[in-house]
Structure 1
Amino acid sequence: MTWLRSQRTRWVPVLAWGVFVGLPFLLVLLIVQNLLRWSDASTQATVGAQQIAQIEARLRSGEASAPAAQTDGESIYLAASHASLAAAELQRRLVNLVEQSGGHLLTVKADEAGTSLANSLVLQVTFESRQAALLDLLAAAEASIPFLAVETLSLQQSDRRKEEAGDVDPTLRVVMAVRAYQREPSP
C-alpha cells in the first residue's frame, strides 16, 4: 500500500507544476496571438482607409477638371452611319482610352451576344492595368462623348506580374464589355 501511495504522490508535483505554470503560460500565448491578430487587422484597416482617401481625392480632382460638355443630342452617337464603321470607331476609342490610362491592351472583339438593342454595338476589351489607372479609364469612358456604357466588368489579379503582398496598386486583368450607339440610318 505504501508503494502504491508513493506512486500516486510522485505525480502530484508534476501535475501541480503543469497546472500552476503551464496553464498561465498557455494563457499568455493566447493573449499574445490575439494581440498580433488585432494589430494586423488595425494595419489593414489603416491601409484600406488610405486607399479610400486617395480614390476620393482623385475623384474630387477629376470632377473639378472634367470639361462641361455641351451636347446637341446627336453627339452622343458614334459618327459613323454603317455598323462596321461604327465598330471601327468604337474600337479606336477604346484602344485610345486603354493606352491613355497606361494599360496594356490584349484583345478587342465584337460581342455578338450583347448587340440585342437596335442601333447599338458592343465590343469586349481585354487588357491589363493598374488599379488606380483603371479608375481613370472608367471615369474617362463615363465622361466621353459619344456616350459609352460599360455593360460588364470583370477584374482578376494578373498572373503575368505577381505583385508583392503589400502592393496597394496591383496589376489587374480586366475584361470589359462596352456598348455604344449609332444614329438610326436616314431613309
Structure 2
Amino acid sequence: MSQASAQITSKALAATLSVSASAPEALEGLLFGRTREALSVVEGCLLTGRSWTLCGRGGRAVSGQAQRLVAEKQRAGQQLPGWRPLRAGFAGAEPADRSPTLRERCMRTAVGSAMGTPPAIGCVVLGAARAGDPGALVADSARFSGPSLAPLGLHARSAGGYELGRRRLVRACPARAGRPAGRLRGPAESPLRARHRP
C-alpha cells in the first residue's frame, strides 16, 4: 500500500535545495526521519555520492556505505523512510520526463529491502541551471511511494518552534521583537496562532 502524502521539515527542504543549487552532477542520497502509522516526516537527508553509489544496478540491496549511514541514523533514533536522487542538468519539460528512471527504480527496490517494510518514499529533485544565467536555478521535484511508484504529496512542515524547558515557544515576529514570544497552539504543522503578552 502506498502513502498518499508525507511531510518534510523546513530544515531538510532547505538542505535539499542548497545541494541541488550547487551540484555539478547527478547525486544520490537517503531520507531520514520518523514514520508513525501511515505518515512519514522527513527530518534530514544524507548523500551517498554520485550515480549508483546508493545501490548496484540490480537494486537488490543498498551499498555498504548506505548501510553504514542507516545504522548511524538508527542509533540516533531516526528511521529510513526513503531515498532522494538529484538529477542535475535536468532540462525536460514534459510530464514523461518526471517519471522514475531505471536508476531510481533500482534505488526504490534497494531502500524498500533495507527498510524491511514497504512503502519506501522517493523524492526526486530535478535541478537545472537556466540558460544564459549561470546564477539562476530551476528546481522541481517528483515524489513517489510504494512498489507501484504512485504519486506522493510532500508537504513542508513548519519547524519554527523550539523547546524551552517544558513550554514550546515560537520565535517572536519582528514587529513584536521586544515582547515575549507566544505559545504554540496545536502541532507544529498547523498554522501558528501566537498570543503575545504585554
Normalising TM by the smaller chain, what interval?
under 0.3
TM-score between the two structures when normalised by the length of structure 2: 0.23
Return the structure number with greater strand share: 2
Q: Which has the larger radius of gyration?
A: 1
TM norm structure 1: 0.24
